[in-house]
Amino acid sequence: MTDQDGGASGACPWHAEAVPLYETVNEPDRNRVWDALRSRFGQVAPVLLEPDLPAWLLLGYEENLEVMRDWGTYSRDTRRWNEIRDGRRKLDAGLRPAMGYRASALYADGAEHARLLAPITDALGRLTDTRIRTDITEAADRLIDDFCAEGRADLVADYADLLPALLMNRFFGLEDTYGYVLGELSGIIWTADGARGADAVVQLRNYFAGLVQHKRAHPGPDLTSWMMAHPTGLTDAEVIDQLVLLSGAAQEPTANLLGNVLRELLTDPEIAREYASGGLLLDEIVNHVIWTEPPMQVLSARFPTRDVVIDGTPVAEGEPLLLGFAPAHADPRLGRPDDDSGSPLPSGHNSAHLTWGAGEHRCPAQSLARQIVGIGIERLLDRLSGVRLAVDAAELRWRPELMSRGLAELPIEFTPVDPPVRHVERPVGPDDGPAEPEPEPNDLLHRVMRWWQGSGRRRRP
């Protein structure tokens, strides 16, 4: 919004009323927060992401959909943010990661977006169904082997947080040891500890720079090599940025969704019974959780390329619009499509939710994400018997996050069982994974490994 001097809107009148969203992170019933904002402001509310970071939060289903679909009017490029454009902030100075910028497809519009996205979607498309199923199963089994003899585990730290990282690391073309490192680094980046976070970012860059260097010398049937060889001709720096996007986009939402579905199965006996007897399919339970506890509840951001009016509220060019998935799913105009308050069981059939996004940036890996969650849960329930929560359900806590929705921990107990001795047989297609033993990694990857070994990790692969 422009003020009378034609300057940009530090002084937007709506933002005088902005609600400090960061103060609501410990509110367990998020719908109360969305309802209160909606009744006060309508379908778009002025909020503060941080004490000095004003933004608009889209609350309505239609409004979110419209903003995601109309990429000509609503840019994904953070450099269009009025605070950056007018020099009040710098993109590389202490911004929360979600509001930062990288030269990846996620932050690009139009032709540049298509250029950067093609190597990603083409590489993902080369992963065969056999390879996907085998790698998810092996990665899940490896994690379960680590704790199955103990009779207890934290399904967030020991399983959900590690499975996507272990899998993506395999798809990137490195042996599992580095998957544990990738899981560790991705986790630290989301914690509030700034110093550890900065250290982890350095190691994550080493991981991807080392990975690209390694694959330059030893290409293989993996996402990294396929992206490097793609006809688009990405530079190494561009490949690194797209790999950072892939790993970040895969990790947090998939880990959260896996944890949130496991929570539903462990805390709702009716749903667990129906699932066990075949009355409810896992996909239906996943859909239900996606509506009620979406793994990303708020997502950043779109920047209007001109002044617009949304549900009667003027929003100026360059002011950040946060996508509100959780508020949109609770939009009363939808009639609460998967609310189970009236019935003991969710319908699970309505897949018109916004969780995969919409428009040109919609998630290119929905099916892969669903398979990680589905196979991840099947392996766990096949391998362990007598699984039950180790604490009262009321003691489970959500991580105090504004954007993502995931549990702090999910402690379980079960009947201890020794891990089996494994004879791994790989599939044999040309794109199905390494047939030869992996060659020695390079200096940068060694550095990441040394950092990890010195960081006092609990689990050793």
CA distance 359 to 363: 9
Closer of 107 and 414 to ligand HEM (Cβ): 107
Tokens of 435: 């047939």
- Interacting stretch for ligand HEM, rule CB under 6 A, among 206-214, 349-357, 396-404, 428-436? 349-357
Closer of 240 and 390 to ligand HEM (Cβ): 240
Pairing state of beta strands 44-50 and 19-20? parallel
Among 18, 204, 369, 407, interactor with ligand HEM by CB under 6 A = 369
Closest contact distance (angstroms) between CB of 241 and ligand HEM is 11
DSSP-assigned states of every residue in 307-354: -EEETTEEE-TT--EEEEHHHHHT-GGGT-TT--SSSSS--------S
| Residue 321 sits in the site that holds ligand HEM (CB under 6 A) | no
Residue 418 CB coordination number (10 Å): 8
Among 356, 411, 419, 427, interactor with ligand HEM by CB under 6 A = 356
Taking 3-state DSSP, the helix, strand and coil percentages for the chain, each rounded to the nearest 5, stand at 50, 10, 40
Beta bridge partners of 46: 56
Closer of 8 and 76 to ligand HEM (Cβ): 76
Among 253, 320, 348, 433, interactor with ligand HEM by CB under 6 A = 253
| Residue 254 sits in the site that holds ligand HEM (CB under 6 A) | yes
Q: Which H or E run contains 304?
A: strand 298-304
| Residue 374 sits in the site that holds ligand HEM (CB under 6 A) | no
Among 120, 209, 266, 410, interactor with ligand HEM by CB under 6 A = 120
Residue 42 · residue 70 · CB < 8 Å = no
In one-letter notation, the amino acid at residue 392 is D
Closer of 8 and 375 to ligand HEM (Cβ): 375
| Residue 165 sits in the site that holds ligand HEM (CB under 6 A) | no
Helix (H, G, I), strand (E, B) or coil at 399: coil
| Residue 364 sits in the site that holds ligand HEM (CB under 6 A) | yes
Tokens of 84: 């950056």
Closest contact distance (angstroms) between CB of 164 and ligand HEM is 6
Closer of 76 and 80 to ligand HEM (Cβ): 76
Q: What is the DSSP letter of 127?
A: S
Closest contact distance (angstroms) between CB of 300 and ligand HEM is 8
CA distance 227 to 214: 14
CA distance 221 to 444: 21
For 131-157, give one letter per residue: b (16+ CB within 10 A) or e.
bbebbbebbbbbbbebbbeeeebbbbb
Closer of 203 and 287 to ligand HEM (Cβ): 287
Closest contact distance (angstroms) between CB of 331 and ligand HEM is 17
Tokens of 193: 């500890």
For 392-408, give one letter per residue: b (16+ CB within 10 A) or e.
eeeebebbebbbbbbbe
Among 44, 106, 185, 334, interactor with ligand HEM by CB under 6 A = 106
Q: Site mask, ligand HEM, residues 282-301, x = CB under 6 A?
A: -------------xx--x--
Number of residues that bind ligand HEM (CB under 6 A): 26
CA distance 363 to 253: 11
| Residue 136 sits in the site that holds ligand HEM (CB under 6 A) | no
Closer of 45 and 258 to ligand HEM (Cβ): 258
Q: Site mask, ligand HEM, residues 52-81, x = CB under 6 A?
A: ----------------x-------x-----
Closest contact distance (angstroms) between CB of 167 and ligand HEM is 8
Closer of 9 and 186 to ligand HEM (Cβ): 186
Closest contact distance (angstroms) between CB of 127 and ligand HEM is 9
Among 174, 209, 249, 321, interactor with ligand HEM by CB under 6 A = 249
Cα 117–Cα 370–Cα 393 angle in degrees, nearest 5: 130
Cα 152–Cα 142–Cα 410 angle in degrees, nearest 5: 35
Residue 1, CA atoms < 13 Å, CB-side half-sphere: 20
- Interacting stretch for ligand HEM, rule CB under 6 A, among 82-90, 139-147, 270-278, 358-366? 358-366
* Interacting residue ranges for ligand HEM, rule: CB under 6 A: 68, 76, 105-106, 117, 120, 245-246, 249-250, 253-254, 257, 295-296, 299, 355-357, 361-365, 368-369
